[in-house]
Amino acid sequence: MKSIQLNPLGAMSQLSKLEVDKLNQSADSQLYYLFRSCCLAVLNSGAETDNCENLFDENEQFDIKLISRERGVKIELVNPPAIAFVDDKLIKGVHEHLFSVLRDLLHMGESFNGAEFPGVSESAYITHKVFDMMRNAQTIKNTAELNLVVCWGGHSIGETEYQYTKEVGYQLGLRELNICTGCGPGAMKGPMKGATIGHAKQRYRNGRYLGVTEPSIIAAEPPNAIVNELVIMPDIEKRLEAFVRMSHAIIVFPGGAGTAEELLYLLGLMLNEQNKEQVLPIILTGPKVCEGYFDAIDRFIGATLGKEAQSLYEIIVDDPTRVAQTINEKRADVRAYRKAKGDSFDFNWSLKIEQEFQVPFVPTHASMSGLNLHFDQPKAELAANLRKAFSGIVAGNVKAEGVKLIREQGPFKLDGDRELMALMDELLQSFVVQQRMKLPGSEYVPCYEIM
């Protein structure tokens, strides 16, 4: 049996006696098992897999313990995976990420209590939770640089697409723009890797590579090695809210169902009448070989959400320099809008997010078949329901709970307007053909059925 003890880092370096006691109480609960799973994912940073069940099965003997000390808490790893070590020493970035997990899941997970804010709406309280988690992780810097670019895209992409994401990141880095992604491989890693080179050339010493994830996806998309700020949000909805409130611009690279979910979430917010004046540059971009991908996405958005939704983003194909220049030029507009609204430069409080986009959607066979996938509803609401449909497909593809449900009860069934179902089927089939649903290596079996 191999065992190693780790000293605390970052926000967990100094804890009170009460905080240590709280953590030890948590260690006996279901929250502890979630903590173990997330730490195992972090320890597998760099592993080329999105099969969370295989990850857990291969590391069945792994365990993690909390050791109380008067000045804080240590982590003890029992039988950790070898990939996390170099010459029998734990990689420093992995060490940092483990304590980020401890901070977010065991400490922050225990600290919220809605009774603290009587009379506050659930929507406002959820936004408070998002802000409090990001602030506690020290990601809200108050630098007024307005240079955090959120990059979305698939974990399963080809080499040409990956190199393109690196080139975009490089061009952003040359302009001293920082990167925030979902922290995993593929299009989440490429922009960070490229930005490190751009930052190095400019001798920019404040490079930020912020990774925002959540417990149910982290095992399928372990944090890549470049992430220097890791935050684990409680669920996908709070993760998405953190992305959009922290961002000064958003880039969408090619991806599968998860990327479609993110884009539909974003467009659903921006279609809200109260967000008409929001200034948030949105660019869809990829190499020349992905031109057809963006044509398909744009057609789907136009046919479902209309021309207004299409007007919210710009598609730039095969031009990383122009992508970075466009975002850099629009920083002044973002600054002017935030100043006019008296809003924070580092957390977009003025963005209106309806509760429909905030309350966690739990994909089950009943909840998926019960989605309102019909055209006779406001566009923002249709976007919310489409987002949930794609979120369920992501769960069925790579999230442990969803994979188990599909194995036991068969595929999720999606039903709605015939035309809308045909549009969804066409888009999803294109993702399957392009191997965007899961990493290549095995035949993809759909976790959904279009009725």
Residues with Cβ within 8 Å of 159's Cβ and at least 6 positions away in sequence, in order, are: none
Residues with Cβ within 8 Å of 203's Cβ and at least 6 positions away in sequence, in order, are: none
Distance CA 236, CA 362 (A): 10
Residues with Cβ within 8 Å of 450's Cβ and at least 6 positions away in sequence, in order, are: 414, 421, 424, 425, 428
User: Hey, what CATH topology would domain 3-114 get?
Assistant: MCP/YpsA-like (3.30.1850)
User: Hey, what CATH topology would domain 131-355 get?
Assistant: Rossmann fold (3.40.50)
Residues with Cβ within 8 Å of 399's Cβ and at least 6 positions away in sequence, in order, are: 52, 216, 217, 220
pLDDT of residue 219: 80
What phi and psi, each to the nearest 5 degrees, are found at residue 14? -130, 115
Equal CATH topology for 3-114 and 131-355: no
What is the bridge-based pairing of β-strands 85-86 and 89-90?
A: antiparallel
The per-residue pLDDT for range 120-137, each reduced to its tens digit, is 788 999 999 999 999 989
Residue among 43, 83, 46, 47 nearest 63 (CA): 43
Distance CA 443, CA 411 (A): 16
Contact 209, 179 (CB under 8 A): yes
pLDDT of residue 70: 66
Q: What tens-digit pLDDT sequence spans the chain (451 residues)?
A: 688 999 887 766 666 666 666 666 665 567 777 888 889 999 988 776 666 667 777 888 898 888 877 666 788 999 999 899 999 899 999 999 999 998 888 666 555 555 566 667 889 999 999 999 999 899 998 888 999 999 999 988 999 999 999 999 999 999 999 999 999 999 999 999 999 999 999 999 999 999 999 988 888 888 999 999 999 999 999 999 999 999 999 999 999 999 999 999 999 999 999 999 999 999 999 999 999 999 999 999 999 999 999 999 999 999 999 999 999 999 999 999 999 999 999 999 999 999 999 999 999 999 999 999 999 999 999 999 999 999 999 999 888 889 899 999 999 999 999 999 999 999 999 998 888 887 776 678 889 999 8
Ranges of each domain in the chain: 3-114, 131-355, 356-450
